[in-house]
Structure 1
Amino acid sequence: MHLDLFAPFELGGLTLANRMVMAPMTRNRADADGCVPSLMVDHYRQRATAGLIVAESTTVSPQAVGYPFTPGLHTAAQAASWRRLTDAVHAEGGRIFVQLQHCGRVSHPSLLDGQVPVAPSALAPAGQAVTYTGPQDFVTPRALDADELPGIVDQFRRAAALAKQAGFDGIEVHAGNGYLIDQFLRDQTNHRTDAYGGSAANRMRLLNEALDAVCEQWPAERVGVRLTPENGFNSMSDSDPQGHFEYFLGQLSARGLAYAHVLEGGMATTAVSLDYRALRERFAGTYIANNGYNLARAQAAVHAGDADLVAFGTPFLANPDLVRRYRENLPLAAADPATFYGGGEAGYTDYPFHQGDAAQTRALTTQADVQAVAGPAR
């Protein structure tokens, strides 16, 4: 059977118009209360031709916040603000999941009303936190007590319930990029000796419990998981990423989830050291590949069965009509890194759609030249 990037795809009872996914990209344009402003509504509406949009990382509680001006799903006001956005995407014929997130140690007391960030173990990441007053050194997090973990799980449960009120089509649980669930999964950041540490099965316990909670609110076929097996972002590493993530994906396979969304390599590079085909084969469901894909590489991955869907980050950022541009071999706009995080319309809603025979853009590249950059995926 000939598989094509632009063919419809059935996902959890939803018909996606194509196999192109807009990857979740933190842009720091929510308001200070974690609500969605009109600017965000316009940004996502513009990109609704993607087969599936995975909305940016969305915090499940005040404790989960790790960056300024990021959206949340832990209040009724936040859910109502998201509803305007999901309604806008649906009016354009799009489908949209929300990525639920707890940043864990990747935060700062100034973002948490003075509280110390939490983690599986009291190990600080290298580098600096992004705060409202500028970069500040990361602090050593507080190791979560075992009796606190049901509360973390309940944060995901409540956020999943609010996501229904907000009109989303499904949920993506963020278990990557060095945030709380990933901190439990990888043995470099998880030094626990209780039921949540040690073996791969124990380190996966929090993810399994979060998924159980989310699946109380949503059918499993509408719940996906984001994994980043070898991403070093936020001071992450693991002693055996190939073996450990083959185990994790094998366990996830039995759940009948919507998909596994896998960052292949690291955020800052397209270099790959793991066998992602072997990882893909451990998961029986829909596999979304992500990281540095252009049109040719995405088509090849779909044709070969290496991916069912392909997620694009930076190309969607600069090209709201990316699906059309790829389908018709039109030139692409280049993204402006200076506008990735925070700000207003510039570099967010002002990238134009292709008009006629020439794209009205600030800068153009060919599709073959579009490569991964250290973009706004968080």
Structure 2
Amino acid sequence: MTTLFDSYRLGDLTLPNRMVMAPMTRVRAAAGGLATPSMATYYAQRATAGLIISEGVQPSLIGQSNPGTPGLHTDEQVSAWRPVTAAVHSNGGRVFAQLMHGGRVSHPATTGMRPVGPSAVPAVGDVFTPSGPRPAPTPRALDTAEVPEHAESYGQAARRAAEAGFDGVELHGANGYLISQFLSSNANLRTDRYGGSVTNRIRFAVEAVSATVEAVGAARTGIRLSPGGTFWGVRESDVPKLYTALLAELAHLDLAYVHLEATAEEEVLIGLRRAWPGTLILNPVLPMGPKQTGRAEADHWLGLGADLISFGRGFLANPDLVERLRNGLPVAPVEETTYYQGGDAGYLTYSTYQYTA
């Protein structure tokens, strides 16, 4: 029987266990989207994970969603990331950069530009800005001729990620951000080749992944998806059909992995497991939901055919989560008030388990 602590071959990497640190926004970057020494410490502390996936990293300035997030679209950003990846590698870890284009989930107060999206339909809710939450603005609908450059921005950022020392990249195709917006049937009202039918709605995702594979290779490329998710007000019609079609197209590219969130019914997710011939990472609980992933949820999905299991809040509060789960030790709770407050409190202040005599 497969366990969380078995090794796994992922592309050119040998993972010492099947526990993946999920991407989590921490808004600790310096001005200019630069990674910091504290970020190097944070990720290095968690290097016992089989694989670390970084927080969302914007592939372009217009792709930035939140203030305080890091980028991979300037030479300075590449240089700032190098000590981070080096620290993870020095501690024996492996790390992918998550490439996240926010699309309509952004604000001119953050980027100085009007957000773009597949259609002129605003996200539902308030977005974060340097002066606090503000209503999501109406994005500018991309012209057909502009869409390919945004797909290519993932490939350009992937090249920079490789230069910065990352072992690979994950495209953020989930949670209502740009790729998810194109997949959506209510954020994407286009009538051109990128909208309407399932074939057209998956086109942007396939083009973005293809550009990334061309840039850094299939073995260094993954994608995260949230089938049926409703983050930021997105809705998707024909979820099983939509994602089965997407996975069929992605299968031709021989990606390192697909990373699914548990945003659909288990039956749907099992169907997508069957539809995907490659490595599957499963995030077993709803992101930001009331429950966090534990050993029972992980074991359940390994039994259903997932290859790797991603943990978010568990790794946030427990740098040594692998050891804690391996030895049945208590898992520390997270301090939600420190998620996005900046500084090292609730970031570098979580400790490893303290054994007593």
Bin of the TM-score, shorter chain as denominator length: over 0.9
Equivalence for 1:13: 12
SS in 2 for 1:158: helix
Aligned partners of 1:273, 1:310: CA distance in 2, in Å? 15
Aligned partners of 2:124, 2:229: CA distance in 1, in Å? 15
1:287 aligns with 2:280: yes
1:265 to 258, 263, 266: 263
2:225 to 224, 227, 230: 227
Equivalence for 2:68: 69
1:275 to 260, 268, 279: 268
SS in 2 for 1:173: strand
Aligned partners of 1:274, 1:4: CA distance in 2, in Å? 22
Equivalence for 1:111: 110
Aligned partners of 1:274, 1:244: CA distance in 2, in Å? 15
Letter aligned with residue 99 of structure 1: Q
TM-score of the two chains, using structure 2 as the length reference: 0.95
Equivalence for 1:4: 3
- 1:231-266 Cα offsets, whole Å, 9 max, x none, are 211111112212211221222222210000001127
- 1:273-313 Cα offsets, whole Å, 9 max, x none, are 652100111100000000433112212321x2431000000
Letter aligned with residue 81 of structure 2: W
Aligned partners of 1:331, 1:166: CA distance in 2, in Å? 35
Aligned partners of 2:210, 2:246: CA distance in 1, in Å? 15
Aligned partners of 1:193, 1:12: CA distance in 2, in Å? 38
* Equivalent runs, 1:92-103 vs 2, <5 Å: 92-103=91-102
Aligned partners of 1:276, 1:217: CA distance in 2, in Å? 30
Aligned partners of 1:27, 1:342: CA distance in 2, in Å? 8
Letter aligned with residue 283 of structure 1: W
* Equivalent runs, 1:58-207 vs 2, <5 Å: 58-113=57-112, 115-207=113-205
Shift of 1:208: 1.4
Equivalence for 1:361: none
Shift of 1:31: 1.0
SS in 1 for 2:119: coil
Equivalence for 2:335: 336
SS in 2 for 1:161: helix
- 1:83-125 Cα offsets, whole Å, 9 max, x none, are 1000000011101001111100000111121x21100011011
Q: 1:194 to 1:274 in 2, by over 3 A?
A: farther
SS in 1 for 2:20: strand
Aligned partners of 1:305, 1:11: CA distance in 2, in Å? 19
SS in 2 for 1:332: coil
Aligned partners of 2:185, 2:267: CA distance in 1, in Å? 17
Aligned partners of 2:267, 2:145: CA distance in 1, in Å? 35
2:234 to 229, 233, 236: 236
Whether the aligned pair in 1 keeps the contact of 2:270 and 2:304 (CA below 8 Å) is no
Letter aligned with residue 226 of structure 2: T
SS in 2 for 1:226: strand
Question: Structure 1 stretches of 5 or more lacking a match?
Answer: 267-271, 359-378
Whether the aligned pair in 1 keeps the contact of 2:240 and 2:268 (CA below 8 Å) is yes
SS in 2 for 1:134: coil
SS in 1 for 2:133: strand
Whether the aligned pair in 1 keeps the contact of 2:58 and 2:101 (CA below 8 Å) is yes
Letter aligned with residue 155 of structure 2: R
Whether the aligned pair in 2 keeps the contact of 1:230 and 1:264 (CA below 8 Å) is no
**How many pairs were matched up?**
350
Equivalence for 2:253: 255
Aligned partners of 2:81, 2:311: CA distance in 1, in Å? 22
Give % identity: 46
Question: Structure 2 stretches of 5 or more lacking a match?
Answer: 286-292
SS in 1 for 2:233: coil
Equivalence for 1:23: 22
- 1:134-177 Cα offsets, whole Å, 9 max, x none, are 11111111100011112212322211110111000011011111
Letter aligned with residue 144 of structure 2: A
Equivalence for 2:51: 52
SS in 2 for 1:10: strand
Aligned partners of 2:132, 2:301: CA distance in 1, in Å? 40
Whether the aligned pair in 2 keeps the contact of 1:242 and 1:274 (CA below 8 Å) is no
TM-score of the two chains, using structure 1 as the length reference: 0.90
Q: 1:137 to 1:43 in 2, by over 3 A?
A: same
SS in 2 for 1:163: helix
Aligned partners of 2:229, 2:6: CA distance in 1, in Å? 30
Equivalence for 2:289: none
Whether the aligned pair in 1 keeps the contact of 2:175 and 2:229 (CA below 8 Å) is yes
Aligned partners of 2:210, 2:266: CA distance in 1, in Å? 32
Aligned partners of 1:182, 1:313: CA distance in 2, in Å? 20
Letter aligned with residue 25 of structure 1: M
Aligned partners of 1:179, 1:222: CA distance in 2, in Å? 22
Root-mean-square deviation (CA, aligned residues, Å) is 1.3
Aligned partners of 1:112, 1:68: CA distance in 2, in Å? 8
Q: 1:274 to 1:143 in 2, by over 3 A?
A: farther
- 1:335-360 Cα offsets, whole Å, 9 max, x none, are 010001132111111001012149xx
Equivalence for 2:32: 33
Whether the aligned pair in 2 keeps the contact of 1:253 and 1:282 (CA below 8 Å) is no
Aligned partners of 2:351, 2:324: CA distance in 1, in Å? 12
